[in-house]
Every structure is written in structure tokens, then in C-alpha cells.
């Protein structure tokens, strides 16, 4: 059984995340599920090498002690694919994602592979859940 690979990149971005994600070649959907203090976007690209991309930023753009206010997560079955998509996202959106990722953040995102497998099985339903809000 294949295991999803997860790439997390951190960065600092002081402008509108909404404007930045419009520059990315894949359309991103606004995610309303989760905490209300963040702006989040996601896309699931169905292809031979499918991937799930999620980006979030605190609404107030406060920078953490480690030096980031943006988190990019990419999940696929290939570390190389994740890196290629992350590099493309960074290039197209001009968001600098070069902050070192602490080990505890990587561990925190380990469970996200389950999300990727749900997206593979039911992409439309999974994206619908991300857009859902009480």
C-alpha cells in the first residue's frame, strides 16, 4: 500500500493571501472549515500524480516566534512531486517559503495523509466539506 508523502513549508507573507493564490496556475478554493482566525485555500489536482495543496495564513498576519505566518502543505505519493508543486507555488505566488520547519510541526501534519486518501476516493465531496461552514 502506498503511503502519502507530506511536505510542509513555512514562510512570511505580509500581503493578501487571497491576491497571491489568484496567481497560481491551479484554481484554489477558499476553505471555511476550521478555525475562524485563518485564511485558508486548497486544491486537489487529479492527475497521474495527484496532489492536495493547502495554504493558510493568520488573518492578522502575526508572525510566530519561529518567523512564519504562512503554512503550505502539499500531499501526494511522491516527495519529488511535492517539491515541484511547492517550488511552482512559491514562484507563481511570490510567497517566500524558506523558514525552517520545526520537527513538531512536521509531526503535527503527519495525520494529513488520511485527508489525501479521502480526496482521492471522493474529490468533489472532500472539497465540498472544506467549503462547508456552520
pTM strictly above 0.85: yes
Q: How confident is the model at residue 112 (pLDDT cuts 50, 70, 90)?
A: confident
Range of the domain at 89: 5-131
27 and 89 in contact (C-beta within 8 Å)? no
Query: Residue 41: which CATH number?
Result: 3.30.310
pLDDT for the residue numbered 7: 96
CA distances from 134 to 39, 57, 60, 72, 126 (A): 16, 21, 22, 25, 16
Q: What percent of the chain has pLDDT over 70?
A: 95
Separation of alpha carbons 42 and 119, rounded Å? 11
Inter-residue contact 24 to 90 (CB < 8 Å): no
Number of domains in the chain: 1
Query: Which of the two residues, 119 and 5, has the higher pLDDT score?
Result: 5
pLDDT at residue 22, rounded to an integer: 95
- pLDDT single digits (tens) 44-85: 998 889 999 999 998 888 898 889 999 999 999 999 999 999
Amino acid at each position: 500500500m502506498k503511503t502519502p508523502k507530506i511536505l510542509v513549508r513555512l514562510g512570511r507573507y505580509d500581503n493578501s493571501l487571497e491576491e497571491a493564490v489568484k496567481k497560481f496556475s491551479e484554481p484554489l478554493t477558499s476553505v471555511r472549515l476550521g478555525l475562524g482566525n485563518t485564511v485558508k485555500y486548497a486544491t486537489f489536482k487529479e492527475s497521474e500524480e495527484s496532489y492536495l495543496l493547502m495554504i493558510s495564513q493568520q488573518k492578522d498576519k502575526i508572525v510566530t516566534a519561529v518567523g512564519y505566518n504562512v503554512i503550505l502543505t502539499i500531499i501526494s505519493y511522491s516527495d519529488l512531486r511535492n517539491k515541484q508543486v511547492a517550488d511552482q507555488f512559491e514562484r507563481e505566488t511570490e510567497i517566500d517559503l524558506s523558514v525552517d520547519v520545526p520537527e513538531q510541526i512536521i509531526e503535527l501534519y503527519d495525520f494529513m495523509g488520511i485527508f489525501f486518501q479521502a480526496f482521492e476516493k471522493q474529490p468533489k465531496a472532500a472539497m465540498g466539506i472544506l467549503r462547508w461552514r456552520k
